[in-house]
Amino acid sequence: MDLEAFLGLLTPDGQAVLAEAAASDVSENALISTAARLRKGHPAELVAAALTQVRLRDRGRAKFGDEAARMYFTPAGLEQSTRLSVAAHRAHRFAATRDRHHFPAGGNVSTSGEGGPDRAEAREVLELGCGIGGDLIARGLAGVPGVGVELDPLTAAVARANVGAFGLAELASVREGDATEQDPQGYAAVFADPGRRAGSSGRRIFDPKAYQPPLDTVLDLASRTPGGCVKVAPGIPYEAIPDGAEAEWVSVGGEVKEAALWLGDLAGDVGRRATLISGEGTVTLTPEGLGAPEVKSWGRYLYEPDGAVIRAHLVAEVARRVGGWLADPQIAYVSGDELVETPFASAYEIEDVMPFSLKRLRAELRRRETGVLTLKKRGSAVDLERLRRDLGLRKVKGGPELVVVLTRVDTAPVALLTRPMR
């Protein structure tokens, strides 16, 4: 889909074919026949663009829920976009900071005539690399005005259309431009989402210096405003986090999705935090100045901290909450004798602990006539897929559910046979 074809979708004729495509079967088996039928009454390039959008909207539901039905996407833009729940969480933080520092909300912004708002009236967030506009829209819905800058003309047009689809034209705008050439002076804050995938290959980039633009460049731009926020990969090295920044790792439904560096007025004083988002709401864990947890042998229960908690080095805080300890000081598994409910860790009852041996483990699982078997590991070099094949077990209908956790204590590999506590 090129820019001309996308802009055609925004015309009355384009909207008509888009609606017709949305009401058609666009599955793999029916796609060719649906396209042929639509081309009888509409230009081929318009049909192709409409079908692309319908299929992308279907994929977009995983990140944007029902809102995806009114949004526009590019394949790369959807892949790199922030899911709605995370963007809304971040927007709330921008809004709270704005209110705390009395940044005016809503309305247009008078400019100095040099590309940015007057510092005395600064209230907009400058977003560098806004993609399809997910974060820009979330902040707009939270009442925080902003300007998005996007280098790719097609992606900029898609972001502009999304702003319009949400009725936010008075609060948000999009312009084409190079993020590195922007002057952030006079804006209330900078938000940046540097590219972390390599060109057409889509390979993930883990080195912050290889981000597009590089992390140091983005941090420099953000430092010129009162506050800033920069999305980074969850695996960002701790040494890449600048002094005075707050690092936040975000987990959605138990899976770490992203991390962000909060700067200046937007940074808290906690240094790091883990934020967990689920259908039950959002909870946050921050450092409590605790020492290292006690180290001793396994108790009755095993607690597996959420990935965001582990990334944020907050396992000690979880151990304190459950009255637990570590079996190995280097492994982020907490054990304890009491069952304590916490959103920051999953709990398992330990039924047996044995030195790891394929033969012994296979025999024990067969003896138990195991039903559903889940394999987990931390601190173990065992390939879980290969282990499952080597175990050669058949699921026993009605058999007990078992979670086998492979880890180590010092250098000794162990297998924990556990039962998940719902």
For 151-184, the pLDDT digits (tens) are: 999 999 999 999 999 999 999 999 999 999 999 9
Kindly tell me if the per-residue pLDDT of 106 is higher than 50: no
What pLDDT does 109 receive? 37
What pLDDT does 123 receive? 80
CATH number for region 78-284: 3.40.50.150
Kindly tell me if the per-residue pLDDT of 278 is higher than 90: yes
What pLDDT does 291 receive? 86
* 200 confidence band (pLDDT: 50, 70, 90): low
Average pLDDT over the chain, rounded to an integer: 91
* 98 confidence band (pLDDT: 50, 70, 90): low
Kindly tell me if the per-residue pLDDT of 404 is higher than 70: yes
What pLDDT does 1 receive? 80
* 384 confidence band (pLDDT: 50, 70, 90): very high
What pLDDT does 112 receive? 35
Kindly tell me if the per-residue pLDDT of 47 is higher than 70: yes
* 202 confidence band (pLDDT: 50, 70, 90): low
* 102 confidence band (pLDDT: 50, 70, 90): very low
pLDDT mean over 289-293: 87
Kindly tell me if the per-residue pLDDT of 111 is higher than 60: no
**To the nearest whole percent, how much of the chain has pLDDT over 70?**
93
* 422 confidence band (pLDDT: 50, 70, 90): confident
Tens digit of each residue's pLDDT (9 = 90 or more) over 220-274: 999 999 999 999 999 999 999 999 999 999 999 999 999 999 999 999 889 999 9
What pLDDT does 242 receive? 94
What pLDDT does 115 receive? 46
Cβ within 8 Å of residue 310, ≥6 positions away: 332
What pLDDT does 196 receive? 82
In a 10 Å sphere around its CB, with 0-12 CB exposed, 13-18 middle and 19+ buried, how is residue 313 labelled?
middle
Ordered by start, the domain boundaries in the chain are 3-63, 78-284, 301-420
pLDDT mean over 390-417: 95
pLDDT mean over 118-123: 49
